[in-house]
Amino acid sequence: MTTTLFMNGRSQAVRLPKQLRLPGKRAKIRRFGRGLLLEPMGDESWPEGYFEKVLIKDNSFKRPGQGEVPPLPDLER
């Protein structure tokens, strides 16, 4: 199968045949040998329940206190 390369503004573009179209609106691209490899990008949001799974409840990992916030200087003097 072959396809067409063309210029779109100052970028080179490739026309993908219908049976090779990728889902979504974005793709990863990288060099692969003498060619290029296009991979569809999935949903970029965090998986459901991710933060609950990585929550560390061990107190030895607790963030140390940050101290008191100093008062703001009076800038109207």
**What residues contact 13, with CB distance under 8 A and at least 6 apart?**
5, 6, 7
**What per-residue confidence (pLDDT) applies to 18?**
93
**What per-residue confidence (pLDDT) applies to 34?**
96
Would you list the domain boundaries of the chain? 23-63
**What per-residue confidence (pLDDT) applies to 20?**
94
Note the pLDDT tens digit of each residue in 35-62: 999 999 887 778 888 888 887 787 787 7
Residue 64: helix, strand or coil by DSSP? Answer: coil
pTM of the model: 0.48
**CA separation (Å) from 24 to 20, 28, 39, 40, 66?**
13, 12, 11, 7, 43
Helices (H), 1-77: 50-54
